Structures are given as structure tokens and as C-alpha cells.
Amino acid sequence: MVHKPKRTKSGRAWMHEHVTDPYVKRAQQDGYRSRAAYKLLEIDARDPLLRPGMTVVDLGAAPGSWCQVAVEKLKGRGRVLAIDLLPVAPLAGVESLAGDFTDPAALAWLEEKLGTQRVDLVLSDMAPNMSGVALRDQARHYELCELALDFAVQWLKPDGTFLVKVFQGVGFEDFRARMRQAFARVAIRKPDASRDRSTEVYLLGRDPVAERHAA
């Protein structure tokens, strides 16, 4: 006889929230791979990010809903390069790598794909595998954010844009200060599709300012 693991109270609550979530239902109806698509769609509606002809890099892309949005907005003109630890199922118009962005090999893959081409938009929805130790997880998350910011500063066009998921708390103000050094304009966005109880917000940086970052 096989004993099924008991569901915890928190696990049952999460499942209930998931199956009753209106954005989960919309994603299923609209054909998006996750509810996260609506976060990007909402931000793009407020702060136009995506247009045909762009080169877009999506960090932390799995399962690929942001890639889907990007492909739709590019309308067959442009490029989307995506990286995640988990594989992104094939999607027309997207070149993806199942790899660790902290591994130099992943960065080398991106650089090889880009060649001398600069990037219009860097998206980062990366988050570490959670250990359950809040301070450790927060620190690891901001390490990923720093790496994404370094990549964006190096590869964005002069009028490029960087959108990165962050969590409010320890490290937030320091990272926002660094964003302000790197970009002429920095804004905080909290899309409706982000759950109210989550400390998740998005920092939007526009127009890289190389001399500020170097300073």
C-alpha cells in the first residue's frame, strides 16, 4: 500500500488560491503559460516597453509567459533570447537556453548570440530556489538582481530599458540606489496581477547613464 503524503494546511491554502485565482483562469483561457504574463502586459500598457524590431533578453524566463507576450508585441520582427534553469518549451520566435545565469557559460551563450548587437530591453523575473531562511533568500535574490543589472548596463542601447523583479525588504533600498546610478529614470511598478500579500514589485530603469554607473 502506498501512503500519499499529507497536504499541509499552507499547501492546501496555496492550492485553493491558485485554482481560484482569476489571473490563472485568464491565462488558461488566453493560452499563456502562467499568470505572470499579465504582470508584463499591465506594465507594458502603462510604460510601453515592447515594439516590433526590438532585441529582448528574458532572464528567468520559464515557463515562458513573458516570452509569449514579447513575441506577440514584436509581431514577427525582432529577437527574443531567454535563459532559465528550467527549460522553456519551444516557442516560435524565441531562442532559449536551459542554464544558470550565474554560470559564465550562460553569459557566454548570450554574448555569442548577440555578437555586436545591442539590446533594447532586458527583462529579469529571476528568483532563487527558496531555502526558507528569509534573510538568506533575500540576499541570494539581490545577487541575481545585481548580475542582471550588470548585464543590462553592459548590453543595453543608449535608450534601452531594464525591468527587474525585486522584493521589498533588506537590500531593496541599496539596489534601488544602484539602479538610480545606472539609469536616468527609475520607477517602481506593482501590477494588479502581483498578489497583494507579496512584497514583489518591479523596478523599471530607462536610459542607461554609463558615467553614473561607472562612478
> Angle, to 10 degrees, between the axis of helix 9-20 and the axis of helix 22-30?
50
**Dist CA 147 CA 211 (whole Å):** 19
Q: What is the CA angle 50-65-45, rounded to 5?
A: 35
Q: What is the CA angle 36-209-105, rounded to 5?
A: 55
Compute how many other C-beta atoms are within 10 angstroms of the C-beta atom of residue 6.
8
Please confirm, yes or no, whether 113 is among the known catalytic residues.
no
Catalytic residue, from 4, 9, 25, 165: name it. Answer: 165
**Dist CA 131 CA 127 (whole Å):** 12
Looking at residue 212, its amino acid is: R
**Active-site annotation, residues:** 165
